[in-house]
Structure 1
Amino acid sequence: MSVYNELRLEKKLCDAVIRVENVEFYVHKIILCNCSPFFQVLFTRWSTPDCLVFDVPNVSADMMKLFIEFAYTECVPVTLENVQELFIAADRYNVTGIVQACSDLLEKQLTPQNCIGIMKFTDIYYTPELKNKAFLFALNHFEEVAATSEEFMQLSAQELSQIIGDDRLNVKQEKMVFRAILSWISYAAGERREYISLLLPKVRLALMNLENFIECVSNNPLVKESEDCKSILLRTLKAMLDLQTMSFFDSIYYHPLARPRMPSAIMLAFGGWRGRVPTDAIQAYDVRADRWVNVTSNMEGPRAYHCTVFLEGSVYCVGGFDRVERLSSVHRFDLVLRTWQKVAEMHVRRCFVTVTVMDGFIYAMGGYDGEDRHNTVERYQPRANQWTLIAPMHEQRSDASSTSLHGKVYICGGFNGNESLSTAECYDPESNQWTLIASMGSGRSGVGVVAYADHVFAVGGFDGTSRLSTAEAYNPETDTWHAVPSMLSSRSNFGIALIDDRLFVVGGFNDSSTFRAVECFDVEADEWSDARDLETSCSALSCCVVYGLPNLAEYASPHHSVQISEAEEREVE
């Protein structure tokens, strides 16, 4: 193509002249035909064979210059300043390559403030892929969109209904959807009041707690004034009763007032110790439905005392114990294909290993090989499929736990062969050095560690005498630990993960046996609460959170996005 472009610039072998706003561009017909069907029709149907000069209307000379340069170079300088004009012109003349380049830029520039505008733009200039991405962006960032976007207030009632009725709407509490409706109505109350009965059924009212429902919804003047809303309130109360009395059969998902939203992320629990043997089971937790789902793709053999992390769309399962030997092996689980692939092994066997992700690397720390507890650390680069040993820790640690926060790796507790450790340290990749930080208040092996609310939380574990329910948090700015509320149950060797701004602990061992209990901590409420138990008791499992998958729904609890008549709805009730 560079040869053709040189010929064009030198006006050699050109067989056509494109004229726009009295500016002439010498071109080769065949090159422009390859760029857009418009030019093919222009040269073959809308002109005679002897025609040399072609006037093209409704486009600027600057835009035509970009069209022609793209036809010869397959490159186009799309900027925030020219993207709208370029998109419109390229759409009009069917230059699909430029349309795609503009779409790519607009996708990268999506914000809660402009996503609805871009979505409406694609209604005029049909680009289904960009429209879908803008719509999904609005769903995923709905609370911020409703709170900050002027474009949100310009939505039609039908457009708003489509958004808030979608299963994929990302909201933690349904009262936020109701508040968004009220804000939209108040923007033009006189003409929008009548739409409350259209919009209210799109809120999953039965998922609200009764106090919020009565205070926020049933006592709202707009709702009270609408006769149509009264039947919606009655159906909501009936659905709430069904849920509270555990009448939670599958068909409840068809009830538009009670169907949980799709989660934006899923917590996966891998393997673990059940009874006297490790398992290869995978379970998925849907935080919005508060349900566990069995995943059919089992692990590459049973294992316990391993660690899993999510990175670049895949889960990596590192080290552990398969009841026969301590493992150095690492397997990658493709979440879309649901297939396992073995990747490079670590330098040493690591049972009771702890693993975390930072800046695109996987860090594997400490562990036990059957003879020695390790202080060694290695780092995995997925693209190179290579593990590299980095600076060792100050302490030998097996059964520790780790996390990353503000560009540093933190590891806490563990067992050194003699005692449960209260010490903790952090790693700075820039200096390749570990630094001891303030010790925890308790020795903790089999501990759970996670970064949460700009702190490092250390939860539960074994202090050498008993399993702990206590938890504490580390402030990196002050190098101090402080106590936080204790768990409802004491436990060690449990799964731990952060999802939906809550810290979840899953299963574990409680001094006498493995157990099923799951609970979560809300830092704002400063309290622990029960969540849905595992299907079976399990300890020494590993949890991680996955997101951004095209097939995330496959790991969620069943959701039925169907429209049903009022008669069918009454049958469900």
Structure 2
Amino acid sequence: MCSKSRSCHSLTLQDDLPLGTSPRLCRMDTESSEGLLFKDHDFSSDLLRQLNDLRQNRILTDVSICAGSWEVPCHRNVLASSSPYFRAMFCSNFRESREAKVQLKGVDASTLERIVLYVYTGEVHITVESVLPLMEAASMLQYPKLLEACSSFLQSQLTPSNCLGMTRLSEIFSCETLRKKAREVALTYFPEVAASADLKELCALELRDYLGDDGLCGEEEKVFEALMVWIKHDLQTRKRYMQDLFKQVRLQYVHPAFFHHFIANDALLQSSPPCQTILETAKRQVFSLYSTASSAGLQPLWHVPPRNSYQDFLILLGGRKDNQQTTRDVLLYDGQTSRWQSLAKLPARLYKASAVSLHRSIYMLGGMAVGKSVPSAKVYVFSLKLNQWRPGQPMLAARYSHRSAAHKNFIFSIGGIGEGHEVMGSVERYDSVGNVWERMASMPVGVLHPAVAVKDQRLYLFGGEDIMQNPVRLIQVYHISRNTWFKMETRMIKNVCAPAVVLGERIVIVGGYTRRILAYDPQSNKFVKCADMKDRRMHHGATVMGNKLYVTGGRRLTTDCSIEDSASFDCYDPETDTWTSQGQLPHKLFDHACLTLQCIPHHSTVPWVP
């Protein structure tokens, strides 16, 4: 064709263009750095569909893949393109590259059909019945995405009863995601996993790995029980691992009654001298008031931290709310979600009872039942795990407006107002192992509403008021193991209806008809002034979570000296010596108990406070 003809042809094409289209872009012989990259997104799937039609009609198929007597016609080039396994088989000098039929050992007929369908369509239906043979075939034939799909399916089927078996399966097929997920389930639901038959089949190293994991969600009592079940399943073979595995039980977080009745006198542990040594160390360090020394060569048990699964919760109990009615409400604050939750109500409306946390339980002591004019000696015990109250061992003396404190496995009930409406100086102690109360030495001066805290084997009472409601400028100190008191006068103390908490190495006295925050150092017997609260507060609550001080509710004195109930919720950070608001309580509240309960959250649903 002549150049003139080519030019005319080009012009004809331009003349046919829609109005507004640039003719320069459509000239066939114009060179340009820009162009159109056309992508047919359906081409691959259409091609596969056509290839599958050819396969199903046995057109151009050149090999049959066999499982026993079952044969599936295929195209060598399609199989070789789909996996390194088939590529090596058909593109190397193996005899299979020339054979018309290739037998696949270890693959059943239905699995083979699913694999071939996956190769030609990119789809496969995975079920509970088919997943394991499909996974094995995907691993052998080198289809990593299919293997991962099977792994994802198995992850969706994980339960406490099968997660240990799934862990073994993940190791066989080198499925790291399945292994991590199965281990996560095993740790999260350890009490249920411990009841499964698979736990007994673990080797010693595997069991040690689980029991020693900081993320294990289970009380130490359950850890001990799981260990003993495993050892007794094959006692003669496994008892040589007992000492090493017993060290994984964090004895300082075991309830002392459980330790005393089920661990300390266990015949199997007693038969092992190294285990006996561990037990004696635990008795001295954790369960005795009189010694903290550890055995030679053994790390102090107190240095072992609680498992990461333990969480601190702030609990508010009783008190007077809104219109000053005594309430039975029990509220839980979850610092991780910043939400309040209602728990089982107190068994009775108790006026100025005292509460303390011990061994993952809350003990509500005494108080005056609303409608009655006499104090109570009753004790109620709350389990957060069960969300349930039960009666406890009653105190020796009925009292209200008293204070309480916990140390190791003991609770101290201090002072208050007795049945004759007198200010009491008496002290009694509850032994949680023996479930008994006993009278202790009385305080030097009977006071009401002191700030109370326990630090380094000593119980401290700061201030308070006498029977005439005058402030008492005293620090009264009780030496716990010696059962003796002494007192110190100080001008620094003038607190009434104020709580005290242990924050680091100091005891912090929080308000009490004042905005002032005082930190007391028992070692130097000196006070340090901290940042003031916003308001002058009394009848409020205070507790420590995560090395920070939280103050709840109370009553505040306004600038014109009137008294208002408060719903404030504030946090003090000792690192920065600053206060921040955490919002508001669900309602105004004062004269309530405020404490921290450390436990493992369980998988239960309780209605949230609106």
Give the TM-score normalised by structure 2.
0.48
Q: Deviations over 1:168-208 (max 9, x none)?
A: xxxxxxxxxxxxxxxxxxxxxxxxxxxxxxxxxxxxxxxxx
Decide whether aligned partners of structure 1 residues 106 and 509 sit closer, same or farther in structure 2, where only a CA change above 3 A counts: same
**Structure 2: how far apart are the matches of 1:399 and 1:100?**
57
**Structure 2: how far apart are the matches of 1:437 and 1:102?**
56
Decide whether aligned partners of structure 1 residues 263 and 292 sit closer, same or farther in structure 2, where only a CA change above 3 A counts: farther
Q: What's the counterpart of residue 449 of structure 1?
A: 500
Using the TM superposition, give the Cα deviation of residue 451 of structure 1 relative to its aligned residue in structure 2, in angstroms: 0.6
Whether 1:336 and 2:336 are equivalent positions in the alignment is no
**Structure 1: how far apart are the matches of 2:584 and 2:556?**
15
Using the TM superposition, give the Cα deviation of residue 103 of structure 1 relative to its aligned residue in structure 2, in angstroms: 5.9
Q: What's the counterpart of residue 395 of structure 1?
A: 445
Number of residue pairs aligned between Structure 1 and Structure 2: 313
Q: Deviations over 1:257-300 (max 9, x none)?
A: xxxx99922101000012232110011112233332222x1001
Q: What's the counterpart of residue 311 of structure 1?
A: 358
Instruction: Give the conservation status (yes or no) of the 8 Å contact 1:440–1:472.
Output: no
Amino acid at match of 1:353: H
Q: What's the counterpart of residue 336 of structure 2?
A: 288
**Structure 2: how far apart are the matches of 1:353 and 1:554?**
34
Decide whether aligned partners of structure 1 residues 513 and 526 sit closer, same or farther in structure 2, where only a CA change above 3 A counts: same
**Structure 1: how far apart are the matches of 2:491 and 2:383?**
37
Using the TM superposition, give the Cα deviation of residue 384 of structure 1 relative to its aligned residue in structure 2, in angstroms: 2.0
Q: What's the counterpart of residue 382 of structure 1?
A: 432
**Structure 2: how far apart are the matches of 1:487 and 1:441?**
17
Decide whether aligned partners of structure 1 residues 413 and 104 sit closer, same or farther in structure 2, where only a CA change above 3 A counts: farther
Q: What's the counterpart of residue 368 of structure 1?
A: 417
Decide whether aligned partners of structure 1 residues 104 and 374 sit closer, same or farther in structure 2, where only a CA change above 3 A counts: farther
Instruction: Give the conservation status (yes or no) of the 8 Å contact 2:355–2:363.
Output: yes
Instruction: Give the conservation status (yes or no) of the 8 Å contact 2:457–2:481.
Output: no
Instruction: Give the conservation status (yes or no) of the 8 Å contact 1:285–1:556.
Output: no
Give the TM-score normalised by structure 1.
0.51
**Structure 1: how far apart are the matches of 2:382 and 2:600?**
13
Instruction: Give the conservation status (yes or no) of the 8 Å contact 2:409–2:433.
Output: no
Q: What's the counterpart of residue 554 of structure 2?
A: 508
Using the TM superposition, give the Cα deviation of residue 363 of structure 1 relative to its aligned residue in structure 2, in angstroms: 0.8
Instruction: Give the conservation status (yes or no) of the 8 Å contact 1:273–1:279.
Output: yes
Decide whether aligned partners of structure 1 residues 339 and 497 sit closer, same or farther in structure 2, where only a CA change above 3 A counts: same
Using the TM superposition, give the Cα deviation of residue 554 of structure 1 relative to its aligned residue in structure 2, in angstroms: 4.9
Instruction: Give the conservation status (yes or no) of the 8 Å contact 2:310–2:601.
Output: no
Instruction: Give the conservation status (yes or no) of the 8 Å contact 2:457–2:479.
Output: yes
Amino acid at match of 2:409: G
Q: Report the 3-state secondary structure (helix = DSSP H, G, I; strand = E; otherwise coil) of the residue aligned with 1:525.
A: coil
Higher relative contact order (CA 8 A, sep 6+): 1
RMSD: 2.9
Q: Report the 3-state secondary structure (helix = DSSP H, G, I; strand = E; otherwise coil) of the residue aligned with 2:362.
A: strand
Q: Deviations over 1:468-506 (max 9, x none)?
A: 111101111111122111111211111111012211111
State which of 528, 532, 539 in structure 2 corresponds to 1:493.
539
Whether 1:270 and 2:328 are equivalent positions in the alignment is no
Q: Report the 3-state secondary structure (helix = DSSP H, G, I; strand = E; otherwise coil) of the residue aligned with 1:510.
A: strand
Taking every aligned residue pair, what percent have the same amino acid on both sides?
A: 20
Q: Which runs of 5+ in 2 are unaligned?
A: 1-196, 216-229, 231-249, 251-307, 558-562
**Structure 1: how far apart are the matches of 2:493 and 2:607?**
37
Amino acid at match of 1:315: I
Decide whether aligned partners of structure 1 residues 98 and 363 sit closer, same or farther in structure 2, where only a CA change above 3 A counts: farther
Q: What's the counterpart of residue 521 of structure 2?
A: 475
Whether 1:347 and 2:372 are equivalent positions in the alignment is no
Instruction: Give the conservation status (yes or no) of the 8 Å contact 1:286–1:557.
Output: no
Using the TM superposition, give the Cα deviation of residue 96 of structure 1 relative to its aligned residue in structure 2, in angstroms: 6.0
**Structure 1: how far apart are the matches of 2:367 and 2:204?**
46
Q: What's the counterpart of residue 409 of structure 1?
A: 459
Larger radius of gyration: 2
Q: Deviations over 1:502-555 (max 9, x none)?
A: 111111112413211111110001011111211111110001111223428757
Q: Deviations over 1:112-147 (max 9, x none)?
A: 9xxxxxxxxxxxxxx9xxxxxxxxx9xxxxxxxxxx
Instruction: Give the conservation status (yes or no) of the 8 Å contact 1:352–1:400.
Output: no
Decide whether aligned partners of structure 1 residues 302 and 104 sit closer, same or farther in structure 2, where only a CA change above 3 A counts: farther
Using the TM superposition, give the Cα deviation of residue 326 of structure 1 relative to its aligned residue in structure 2, in angstroms: 2.0
Decide whether aligned partners of structure 1 residues 498 and 100 sit closer, same or farther in structure 2, where only a CA change above 3 A counts: farther
Q: Deviations over 1:414-457 (max 9, x none)?
A: 22212122312222222111222463614211011001010011
Q: Which runs of 5+ in 1 are unaligned?
A: 1-93, 113-126, 128-136, 138-260, 462-466, 559-573
Whether 1:544 and 2:595 are equivalent positions in the alignment is yes
Whether 1:535 and 2:586 are equivalent positions in the alignment is yes
Decide whether aligned partners of structure 1 residues 108 and 391 sit closer, same or farther in structure 2, where only a CA change above 3 A counts: farther
Whether 1:425 and 2:476 are equivalent positions in the alignment is yes
Using the TM superposition, give the Cα deviation of residue 382 of structure 1 relative to its aligned residue in structure 2, in angstroms: 1.9
Amino acid at match of 1:268: I
Instruction: Give the conservation status (yes or no) of the 8 Å contact 2:333–2:341.
Output: yes
Using the TM superposition, give the Cα deviation of residue 349 of structure 1 relative to its aligned residue in structure 2, in angstroms: 2.0
Decide whether aligned partners of structure 1 residues 552 and 420 sit closer, same or farther in structure 2, where only a CA change above 3 A counts: farther
Q: What's the counterpart of residue 53 of structure 2?
A: none
Q: Deviations over 1:356-406 (max 9, x none)?
A: 110110111111125211111111112322111111111102212312112
Decide whether aligned partners of structure 1 residues 292 and 438 sit closer, same or farther in structure 2, where only a CA change above 3 A counts: farther
Using the TM superposition, give the Cα deviation of residue 105 of structure 1 relative to its aligned residue in structure 2, in angstroms: 4.9
Amino acid at match of 1:267: L
